[in-house]
Amino acid sequence: MAFVLHKTKSDRVVDAALYVSLAAFALSTLFPLYYVVVMSITPFSEVLKNGGFVVIPSKVTLEAYTQIFSSPRIPEALKVSATVTIVGTALNLLVTTLLAYPLSKKAMPGRNAILLAIVFTMLFSGGIIPTYLVVSGLGLTNTLGALIVPGLVSTFNMLIMKTYFENLPSEIEDAAHVDGCSDMQTLARIILPLSMPIMATLGLFYGVTHWNAYFGGIMYLTDKSLYPIQVVLRNMIQTPNVSQELQIVNAAELNTLPPETVKMATVVVAVLPVLAVYPFLQKYFIKGMLIGAVKG
């Protein structure tokens, strides 16, 4: 016999209040992004007519995007960001895996001491000046390595991956060892194919971190041709001379556009790659977090 649960009037009122609250929260979260997109495609005349605030433009123009891509600065910055994100994420996953896998084995000698030393870095860091001296001493300043090497391993991500490895059935590895596989062969042929959810999750974590990073570019880079997109965007927001930051010699090319419109278009270009990739990794992201964060 099937039982049907009937909601009382108070339950329906509570549900309605929750839905309204969640909808309001979603709108408050999405509106800033929507406003940035709208401002980037709104003609200058309409912006002036509405006092600089437009919610629904009557006309659409892509002139701001044409201008920023007509300068070499934005394509160069996007290329740098893409290179750092792809190479950096690959190295992050490689080093994190090689560190997390042996630490997931309770029989490893010195395991607890190594874990304690690694977790200690989550509470205390060396500081900005010592970190800069290390990066400079390694000869990484004014190289893309300065944007990758200092953050090669995240302790938080390593602990999540270690927990994921611990949740995998030990019988699988035992069978691989019986068949003659070494530890590295077991990791490459057995463990990694079973760890795609956590790899996608941490890859997304590392990739978004690399793409949004700007502090390393400010600290370690003086060559503007090596600036990632976030550093270029930061400089555009802080300087009133957008044409100089975009390296447009003829500033009259931007006279038909307000500086804010160009900045908004650059923000959209900087955010779009992450928004485009996330939907394809969302299912792995959720699954990896649930499995890697809870030890059964």
Q: What is the pLDDT of residues 217-253, one digit of tens each?
A: 999 998 888 999 999 888 887 776 666 566 554 444 5
CATH number for the domain including 224?
A: 1.10.3720.10
Asked if the structure places residue 255 within a domain, the reply is: yes
- Please tell me the distance from the alpha carbon of residue 262 to that of residue 244, in angstroms, as a whole number: 13
Q: Which residues contact 262 (CB under 8 A, 6 or more apart)?
A: 64, 67, 68, 236, 242, 246, 254
The count of C-alpha atoms lying within 13 angstroms of the C-alpha of 1, restricted to the half-sphere facing its C-beta, is 2
Tens-place pLDDT, residues 72-82: 888 899 999 99
What pLDDT, on the 0 to 100 scale, is given for residue 289?
Answer: 57
Q: What is the identity of the amino acid at 273?
A: P
Best CA proximity match to 144, nearest among 98, 76, 200: 76
Asked if the structure places residue 188 within a domain, the reply is: yes
Structural domain span for residue 215: 63-293
- Please tell me the distance from the alpha carbon of residue 193 to that of residue 184, in angstroms, as a whole number: 13
Lowest mean pLDDT among 14-28, 64-78, 133-147: 64-78
Work out how many domains the chain is built from and give that number. 1
Asked if the structure places residue 184 within a domain, the reply is: yes
- Give, for 159, the enclosing helix (H) or strand (E): helix 155-167
> Quick one: tokens of 205?
């974590």
Asked if the structure places residue 187 within a domain, the reply is: yes
The model's confidence at residue 275, banded by pLDDT at 50, 70 and 90, is confident
What pLDDT, on the 0 to 100 scale, is given for residue 295?
Answer: 47
Average per-residue pLDDT for the chain: 82
- Please tell me the distance from the alpha carbon of residue 230 to that of residue 252, in angstroms, as a whole number: 25
Q: Count the neighbouring beta carbons within 10 Å of the beta carbon of residue 203.
A: 22
For residue 64, the Cα-to-chain-centroid distance in whole angstroms is 25
What is the value of pTM for the model shown?
A: 0.81
Asked if the structure places residue 17 within a domain, the reply is: no
Higher pLDDT, 294 or 276: 276
Asked if the structure places residue 18 within a domain, the reply is: no
Q: How far is CA 29 from CA 26, 211, 231, 291, 293, in A?
A: 5, 21, 24, 28, 26
Asked if the structure places residue 30 within a domain, the reply is: no
Over residues 93-113, the mean pLDDT reads: 90
Asked if the structure places residue 33 within a domain, the reply is: no
Handedness of CA 109, 112, 118, 124 (dihedral sign): negative
